[in-house]
Amino acid sequence: QKEVEQDPGPLSVPEGAIVSLNCTYSNSAFQYFMWYRQYSRKGPELLMYTYSSGNKEDGRFTAQVDKSSKYISLFIRDSQPSDSATYLCAMSEDDYKLSFGAGTTVTVRA
């Protein structure tokens, strides 16, 4: 069993729709949770960062962490074609090592 599981998709939605992405994990020691966005042939860029459980909102993006269920989510409201990318979840106990999901590929259709 992988330490971090992420549905690879692909996910295709019309412009303006809400995109819902999620990851589950098995290591209860994880306490830092991140979402990275990776455009085709580019490196991952940090999108959202959350410590412990709770919600965090940044513009059209909302990250949720439920440590009791070992489940994290990313919501993209009013999705745009420019949001088309692969979204990687990542998490850490509090050291150098990030555990990544395999990424979900999202396409927003104009």
User: Which residues contact other proteins (rule: CB under 8 A)?
Assistant: 4, 8, 32, 34, 36, 41-46, 49, 51, 88, 92, 94-98, 100-103
Comparison of 32 and 61: residue with beta carbon closer to other proteins: 32
For residues 51 and 71, which CB has a smaller minimum distance to other proteins in the complex? 51
Nearer to other proteins, 14 or 96 (CB): 96
Q: Which two tokens stand for residue 74?
A: 């990313």
The helix/strand/coil state of 86 is strand
Q: How far is the CB of 103 from other proteins (least distance, A)?
A: 7
Q: Residue 29, Cβ neighbours under 10 Å: how many?
A: 8
- Least distance in angstroms from the C-beta of 34 to other proteins: 6
- Sheet containing 54-58, strands listed edge to edge, beginning at the edge strand earlier in sequence: 4-6, 19-25, 71-76, 61-66, 54-58
Nearest distance in Å: CB 18, other proteins = 24
Largest CA distance in the chain: 41
